[in-house]
Structure 1
Amino acid sequence: MPKDLLRRDLAEEVTARVLDGRLAADSRVNEVHLARELGVSRTPLREAMIGLADRGLLVSAPGRGFLVPAFDLAEARRLYPLVAELEALGLRWTSPEDLTGVTDGLDRIADEMAAACTASADLSEMDDRWHTLLLSRCTNSHLLRLIAQTKPLLKRYDTSYFGGPERALESVEEHRRIAELIRASDLPAASALLVRNWVKTVAFLGTGD
């Protein structure tokens, strides 16, 4: 396998383990054990983790290797509004005609999310698909790269937000309303609601409700 492809695949695997908790928050990554488990040498694994440290998903600690960051609500409260504004910018930089073409798909995913609320299922994957589809017609690759690099930092906090059915249903209704506003060609209102949907998450973080 080409070196760049191997490094990318390893970065994706380590990212997945951080986000789902297999690599626990506020713990040290055992590089020897992880390399053996993944069937690779430590060199490409370390290179992949250096890249993840540059993106903030890991912390490089001299003499200790790599650490998984502890949960930091202050960081989350800074990052959610940032992602909100970046996504809203992506929405505004997409033509209304192109956006209208994705609204039916947005509604279908929102329906899946609503059904999952009653089943107490994990909504984060469906929410990811909804937001990915929303931005799928944006052609600004630099903006999309910024969003892709920043959003994984928030994934560990999603459970705090989608923790209850009432809160989740409220969020789903806002997703539906955003699609309605796009159909009505009211992109300023759609962008404002998108930002509000993201930013209100901050109020729930760490409440345990």
Structure 2
Amino acid sequence: MPKDKGPLRRDIAEQVTARILDGRLPAATRVNEVHLAAELGVSRTPLREALVELADRGLLAADPGRGFSVPPIDVEEARKLYPLVGELESLALRWTSPQDLLSILGQLERQIDEMESVMESGGDLAGLDDRWHALLLSRCANTHLMRLISQTKPLVKRYDVLYFGGIDRARRSVEEHREIVAAIRANDLFGAAGWLTRNWVNGAAYLGQKPAT
């Protein structure tokens, strides 16, 4: 029987995604499939299948007859994506059991404390922010919605460098996280979802602006 290519393709797609997000495959450049296949230690066929999948998700652009390229950084596109992710995450939050959310409040608060500490020391908040949002949504049982979120969020990860800059922005984001936790503690899921949406919408407003000095 033929071997299932699904897991291999997904693994390749994840590795290529990581290279797009960390800049090893820079924005506005063409993907050299020969070099990338050699780097990943895979053949061209599963690599191309993975690249097609990433193009379908918007992480790559497919150029007929010319292969694939990494899209340029587009602030206006990012300003559309941030509120979209905010709405999706807010929906997932509203569809989560209040009891399940209460069970992780302590972890959420500890992670906010960690973010605050890193913020004051001038460290990188992007990874901690990812962990916090992942924990917040970890009890949502709607697998279809969570799959949609996981496919969409890498599109905004490319813009972290434009968002996380300046102590005022970081403090505002941390405060919004605390408001979300406070609303959950008050059994106000719609209020928490509103703050979550606001967190993403405010992030979109920061894009392309120089941090305050």
> Which TM-score bucket, shorter chain as reference?
over 0.9
Answer with 29-38 or 169-178: which moved more. Answer: 169-178
Give the whole-Å Cα distance in 1 for the aligned partners of 2:80 and 2:125.
22
Give the whole-Å Cα distance in 2 for the aligned partners of 1:59 and 1:121.
33
Report the identity percentage. 63
Aligned to 1:66, the other structure's residue is in SS state strand
Q: 1:81 maps to which residue?
A: 83
Structure 1 unmatched ranges of 5 or more: none
Amino acid at match of 2:50: A
Deviation at 1:118, TM superposition (A): 2.0
Q: Does 1:190 align with 2:192?
A: yes
Give the whole-Å Cα distance in 2 for the aligned partners of 1:107 and 1:2.
42
Q: 2:117 maps to which residue?
A: 115
Deviation at 1:63, TM superposition (A): 2.0
Give the whole-Å Cα distance in 2 for the aligned partners of 1:81 and 1:127.
16
Deviation at 1:37, TM superposition (A): 1.0
- Deviation digits for residues 106-156 of structure 1 (CA, Å, limit 9, x no counterpart): 111111111111222221111111111111111111111111111100001
Q: Does 1:200 align with 2:202?
A: yes
Amino acid at match of 1:4: G
Q: 1:176 maps to which residue?
A: 178
Give the whole-Å Cα distance in 1 for the aligned partners of 2:178 and 2:4.
43
What TM-score do you get using the length of structure 1 for normalisation? 0.97
Deviation at 1:208, TM superposition (A): 2.5
Q: 2:69 maps to which residue?
A: 67
Amino acid at match of 2:76: A
Q: 2:13 maps to which residue?
A: 11
- Deviation digits for residues 51-98 of structure 1 (CA, Å, limit 9, x no counterpart): 000000001101221000001111111111111111111111111111
What TM-score do you get using the length of structure 2 for normalisation? 0.95
Give the whole-Å Cα distance in 1 for the aligned partners of 2:91 and 2:60.
27
Instruction: Indicate which of 34, 37, 40 corresponds to 2:39.
Output: 37
Give the whole-Å Cα distance in 2 for the aligned partners of 1:122 and 1:42.
36
Deviation at 1:39, TM superposition (A): 1.0
Q: 1:163 maps to which residue?
A: 165
Spell out structure 1 runs of 4+ moving beyond 6 A. Answer: none
Aligned residues: 209
Q: Does 1:148 align with 2:150?
A: yes
Q: 1:135 maps to which residue?
A: 137
Deviation at 1:2, TM superposition (A): 5.2
Report the RMSD for the aligned CA atoms in angstroms: 1.2
Give the whole-Å Cα distance in 2 for the aligned partners of 1:77 and 1:125.
21
Give the whole-Å Cα distance in 2 for the aligned partners of 1:125 and 1:5.
26
Aligned to 2:209, the other structure's residue is in SS state coil
Amino acid at match of 2:178: R
- Deviation digits for residues 8-48 of structure 1 (CA, Å, limit 9, x no counterpart): 11100000000011100000000001111111111111111
Give the whole-Å Cα distance in 2 for the aligned partners of 1:119 and 1:148.
30
Aligned to 1:60, the other structure's residue is in SS state strand
Q: Does 1:28 align with 2:38?
A: no
Structure 2 unmatched ranges of 5 or more: none
Instruction: Indicate which of 126, 129, 137 corresponds to 2:128.
Output: 126
